[in-house]
Amino acid sequence: MSAPDEPTVADLSEDELLARIFPHLPRGSRTLVPPGDDAAVVRAPDGRVVVSTDVLVEGRHFRRDWSGGEDVGRRAAAQNLADVAAMGAVPTALVVALVAPGDLAASWVSGLARGLGAACAPLDVGVVGGDLSGGPAVVVAVTVHGDLGGRAPVLRSGARPGDVVAHAGVQGRSAAGLALLLAGRGDADPGLVEAYLRPDPPLLAGPVAADAGATAMLDVSDGLLRDAGRIARASGVVLDLDEPSSAFAGDLERLADAAGLLGADPREWVLTGGEDHGLLATFPPGTVLPAPFRAVGRVLPVGSGAAGVLVEGREPDARTTGWDHFAT
């Protein structure tokens, strides 16, 4: 799994491996006790701490022939940081547990640290702790922390009829990048492949949305329809999305060439593609939407049907969206 002249994890002592990791990890200005003791201590000025954990497993969430260590580090950080942003909080610190097979190149591990650092340092997020173990596959478990700065957390359950549905970030690009890789045509659009390997969510938009009065929010990790359905059910409402041709015109245009190449439907990527980690939020009627949010639908009361998602007033068609309306 590594070049013959390159050391593997098994070739190094734990201290030698840590010496290749630590230089890449930002401390973060809120970190009071950095790694090296039994635990780290991080400022939580709000008096509440936002916490979320996500795990990436080789062969399930990434392939080592597609994703280098730095890609996985950036992705693990981004998807966790997006969970904090989606609560309306500012991320402050994360910790990482890494399980690595002995034949993993040590450079993959330092790449992972570099990727975590690249995602965290610009936000002043410290990487404040970790644990290393051997094991049969690469597993990266990240736990992220955030501070609400006095804001009320924005839950999934606060959407009310009349609210505007808004989205910040991109949709469908990660799915398109994955489709290109699966077809062996990653060369055709490296930008979309990068969107899959290294999602770049609009993290700062989370607290901005909270300040603007967002009533509900989440990050789109499993697809627009599916995640909109989660807000709808948690809030007991219907989210009626605009046709992607208007609401996501820019994404559709960006996806057109790749869709043409693969004979795919870009509308399906926009509606059902996950892992772009954009933010989907609802705002009270009349709210001047803060950038980069744009309106993509409206919240309706539950009528004769159940809480759920519509597109232009109609149930999404499984034939054209690939979406199972009944799955969660």
Binding-site residue set? 38, 52-54, 61, 83, 130-131, 156, 219, 221-222, 275, 323
When asked if residue 32 is in the footprint of a second copy (CB under 8 A), the reply is yes
The region, left, alpha or beta by phi > 0 then psi within -120 to 50, assigned to residue 149 is left
Distance CA 78, CA 125 (A): 12
CB of 130 to a second copy, least distance (A): 6
The two tokens of residue 97 are 């547990």
In Å, the largest CA–CA distance within the chain is 67
When asked if residue 109 is in the footprint of a second copy (CB under 8 A), the reply is no
Given the complex with a second copy, which of 164 and 216 has the nearer CB atom? 216
CB of 36 to a second copy, least distance (A): 8
The footprint of a second copy on residues 34-73 (CB under 8 A) is 36-57, 59-61
Distances (CA, A) of 211 to 71, 152, 217, 327: 32, 9, 12, 33
- Strands 308-311 and 238-241, sheet pairing: parallel
Contact track, a second copy, 288-307, x by CB under 8 A = --------------------
Query: Which H or E run contains 18?
Result: helix 14-21
The two tokens of residue 141 are 């478990």
CB of 50 to a second copy, least distance (A): 5
The two tokens of residue 146 are 């955030």
The footprint of a second copy on residues 239-258 (CB under 8 A) is none
Annotated binding site for substrate: 61, 275, 323
Annotated binding site for ATP: 130-131, 156, 221
Query: Which residues contact residue 245 at a Cβ distance below 8 angstroms, ignoring those fewer than 6 apart?
Result: 252, 267
Total interface residues for a second copy by CB under 8 A: 65
Interface segment toward a second copy; rule CB under 8 A; list 2-10, 123-131, 196-204, 318-326:
123-131
Given the complex with a second copy, which of 36 and 303 has the nearer CB atom? 36
> Phi and psi dihedrals of 144, rounded to 5?
-115, 150
The footprint of a second copy on residues 125-184 (CB under 8 A) is 128-131, 133-137, 139, 141, 143-146, 148, 153, 155-157
Distance CA 58, CA 13 (A): 23
Q: Report which DSSP code applies to 11.
A: G
When asked if residue 210 is in the footprint of a second copy (CB under 8 A), the reply is no
CB of 2 to a second copy, least distance (A): 20
CA-based nearest residue to 111, from 83, 75, 141, 145: 75
CA dihedral 144, 128, 275, 177 (to 10 degrees): 180
The binding site for a second copy (CB under 8 A) comprises 15, 32-33, 36-57, 59-61, 82-84, 86-87, 89, 93, 95-99, 128-131, 133-137, 139, 141, 143-146, 148, 153, 155-157, 217-219, 234, 328
